[in-house]
């Protein structure tokens, strides 16, 4: 057995220098300013009923104008322990979520879209952002446009 003590050792070193980068995140204002851009793909990782507005989890139902719905678990391969599907590059390209575009992914609270963000990064997409506010912010904001 090792010796046990309640004495707190003195701190070693000093403050750690950190640099925060905001490149991986999109704010509501940023996303709103990019709506309609030819080089933008908005990946809505929510379920189809949320996307269509049939299931409303905010003040407004529907989706961000121009958003492409591909539910997050549809990108998982159950036969390979939920790894990214091997045909994901083709699926995303067919949907219009292509590597030449800036991809902004979101869901309701940016938990499900955390996976889709990682999928795009793992597939080598050069410009990917996660919209942390997601539908919880967009669908409750009075000045955001919505499509149904």
The two beta strands, 25-26 and 128-131, are parallel
pLDDT at 101 over 90: yes
Residue 125 belongs to domain spanning: 25-138
- pLDDT tens string 124-137: 999 999 999 999 99
| Whether the Cβ atoms of residue 41 and residue 103 lie closer than 8 Å to each other | yes
Reduce the DSSP state of residue 26 to 3 states and report it.
strand
CATH number of the domain bearing residue 46 = 3.40.250.10
Catalytic pick from 107, 119, 120, 146? 107
Q: Count up the domains in the chain and report the number.
A: 1
Indicate if the pLDDT at residue 14 is higher than 90. no
Can you give the pTM of this predicted structure? 0.86
Is 107 among the catalytic positions?
yes
CB 104 within 8 A of CB 31: yes
In this predicted model, which residue has the larger pLDDT, 15 or 102? Answer: 102
- Domain-located, residue 134: yes
Please give the structure tokens belonging to residue 94: 């067919």
Q: Give yes or no for residue 1 having a pLDDT over 90.
A: no
């Amino acid at each position: 057995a090792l010796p046990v003590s309640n004495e707190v050792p003195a701190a070693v070193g000093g403050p750690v220098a950190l640099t925060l980068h905001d490149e991986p995140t999109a704010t509501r204002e940023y996303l709103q300013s990019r709506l309609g851009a030819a080089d933008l793909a908005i990946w809505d990782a929510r379920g189809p009923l949320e996307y269509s507005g049939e299931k409303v989890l905010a003040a407004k139902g529907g989706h961000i104008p121009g958003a492409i719905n591909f539910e997050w678990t549809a990108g998982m391969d159950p036969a390979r322990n939920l790894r990214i599907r091997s045909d994901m590059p083709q699926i995303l390209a067919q949907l219009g979520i292509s590597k030449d575009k800036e991809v902004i992914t979101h869901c309701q609270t940016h938990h499900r879209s955390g996976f889709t963000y990682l999928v795009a990064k793992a597939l080598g997409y050069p410009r990917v952002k996660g919209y942390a506010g997601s539908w919880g912010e967009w669908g409750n904001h009075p000045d955001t446009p919505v499509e149904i």
